[in-house]
């Protein structure tokens, strides 16, 4: 008998995936984790670890010289864990150490910190870590222990990156130290114009996300010291050159499916958040107190964009 040929299964048309802009929160102290989580934020777009480390009153170099690496790692582990526990199942991007050398000066081990005329342009961020692998390794060991403990919501973000080679070097070091680098979330801050200009190359180098550090991006794009009140009125996050760099980077990230976010202070300004949503940013990370107003600004803009689209489709 002729065998019935089964009709081809009807493949349901997948509904287009509409993902709204996430609203995340910035955290600087573990003590603020509960308050940050209570905002209902979609994750932590920036966990600064400077305060945790500076609070120890000893430099990372001191712990290494004294053979007390485990003490450092344990303190860092405990602090980060508090934040991860407050955001179960939500991404938490922990930024590697980004303190300028002058902030370490008056603590134990501070005498070994280099004396710099301009610490903000000096030995900080990823350059310090690449240049002092022992200090980087203590942080990586902390992350490894957290990943091993099941905290797969932990992502690692590198600050002050200006060339894709820095990201690749950091990744290679982590791999050498036993991190499964292709399966953990590693990303960069875009806070130097060079990293926005080279965003395609960073994407090629394998970043999983990019986050605009506008506090620095503004100062380095406009040559305005972010801490100098004499030029404070010229410090403009919405300067067209800053916006163009951001727009360029968002476009590249979107084209390659890389999450792009903002964690600088400008992300707490509703009008900036509105502009960013309009230009396609994937998430906005704001200060704890600003999360409600940013969520509202984002929702309002998204609603307007959806209605505009619907009207155009019906026209």
Of the two residues 3 and 118, which places its CB atom closer to ligand PEP in the complex? 118
CA-based nearest residue to 190, from 163, 227, 222: 163
**CB 97 → Mg ion: shortest distance, Å?**
12
286 makes contact with ligand PEP (CB under 6 A): no
Contact 161, 195 (CB under 8 A): yes
User: What is the pattern of x (binds Mg ion, CB under 5 A) and - over residues 158-197?
Assistant: ---------------------------------x------
Contact 34, 199 (CB under 8 A): no
45 makes contact with Mg ion (CB under 5 A): no
Q: Which value, to the nearest 10 degrees, does the dihedral of the CA atoms of residues 197, 227, 76, 40 take?
A: -80
Of the two residues 99 and 253, which places its CB atom closer to ligand PEP in the complex? 99
Residue with tokens 């992502």: 155
213 makes contact with ligand PEP (CB under 6 A): yes
Output the DSSP codes for 145-214: HHHHTT-TTEEEEE-S--SHHHHHHHHHHHHHTT--GGGSEEEEEE-SHHHHHTHHHHHHTT-SEEEE-H
- Choose the contact partner of 128 out of Mg ion, ligand PEP, none; CB within 5 to 8 A by kind: none
User: What is the pattern of x (binds ligand PEP, CB under 6 A) and - over residues 59-98?
Assistant: ---------------------------------------x
| Residue 213 Cα to chain centre, angstroms | 8
**CB 46 → ligand PEP: shortest distance, Å?**
6
The two counts, helices (H) then strands (E), for the chain are 13, 8
What is the distance between the terminal CA atoms of the chain, rounded to a whole angstrom? 55
216 makes contact with ligand PEP (CB under 6 A): yes
Q: For residue 60, give every residue at least 6 positions away whose Cβ sits within 8 Å of its Cβ, in sequence order, or none.
A: 53, 72, 97, 109, 132, 135, 138
Window of 89-97, 171-179, 210-218, 225-233 that interacts with Mg ion by CB under 5 A: 210-218
**CB 288 → ligand PEP: shortest distance, Å?**
14
**CB 219 → Mg ion: shortest distance, Å?**
9
Whole-angstrom distance, CA of residue 274 vs CA of residue 264: 15
Q: Map the footprint of ligand PEP across residues 180-199, applying CB under 6 A.
A: 191
Window of 6-14, 35-43, 137-145, 211-219 that interacts with ligand PEP by CB under 6 A: 211-219
Rounded to 5 degrees, φ, ψ at 96 are: -65, 165
Residues in the chain: 315
216 makes contact with Mg ion (CB under 5 A): yes
Interface with Mg ion: number of residues (CB under 5 A): 3
Q: Which residues bind Mg ion (CB under 5 A)?
A: 191, 213, 216
Q: Which residues bind ligand PEP (CB under 6 A)?
A: 46, 48, 98, 191, 213-216, 263-264
């Amino acid at each position: 008998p002729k065998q019935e040929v089964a009709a081809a299964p009807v493949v349901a048309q997948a509904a287009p995936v509409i993902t709204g802009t996430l609203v995340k929160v910035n955290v600087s102290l573990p003590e603020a984790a509960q308050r940050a989580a209570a905002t209902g934020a979609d994750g932590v777009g920036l966990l600064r670890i400077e305060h945790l480390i500076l609070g120890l009153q000893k430099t990372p170099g001191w712990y290494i010289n004294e053979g007390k690496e485990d003490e450092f790692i344990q303190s860092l582990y405990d602090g980060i864990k508090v934040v991860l526990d407050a955001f179960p199942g939500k991404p938490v991007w922990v930024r590697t150490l980004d303190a300028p050398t002058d902030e370490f000066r008056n603590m134990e081990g501070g005498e070994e910190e280099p004396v710099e005329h301009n610490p903000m342009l000096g030995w900080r961020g990823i350059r310090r870590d690449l240049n002092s692998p022992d200090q980087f390794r203590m942080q990586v060991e902390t992350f490894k222990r957290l990943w091993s403990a099941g905290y797969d919501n932990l992502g690692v973000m590198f600050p002050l990156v200006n060339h894709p080679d820095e990201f690749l070097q950091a990744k290679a070091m982590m791999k050498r130290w036993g991190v499964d680098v292709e399966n953990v979330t590693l990303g960069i801050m875009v806070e130097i114009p060079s990293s926005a200009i080279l965003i395609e190359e960073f994407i090629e180098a394998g970043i999983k996300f990019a986050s605009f550090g506008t506090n620095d991006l503004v100062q380095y794009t406009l040559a305005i010291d972010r801490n100098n009140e004499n030029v404070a009125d010229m410090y403009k996050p919405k300067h067209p050159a800053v916006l163009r760099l951001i727009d360029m980077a968002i476009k590249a990230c979107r084209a390659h499916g890389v999450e792009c976010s903002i964690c600088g202070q400008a992300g707490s300004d509703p009008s900036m958040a509105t502009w960013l949503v309009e230009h396609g940013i994937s998430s906005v990370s704001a200060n704890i107190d600003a999360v409600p107003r940013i969520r509202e600004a984002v929702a309002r803009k998204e609603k307007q964009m959806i209605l505009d689209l619907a009207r155009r489709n019906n026209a």
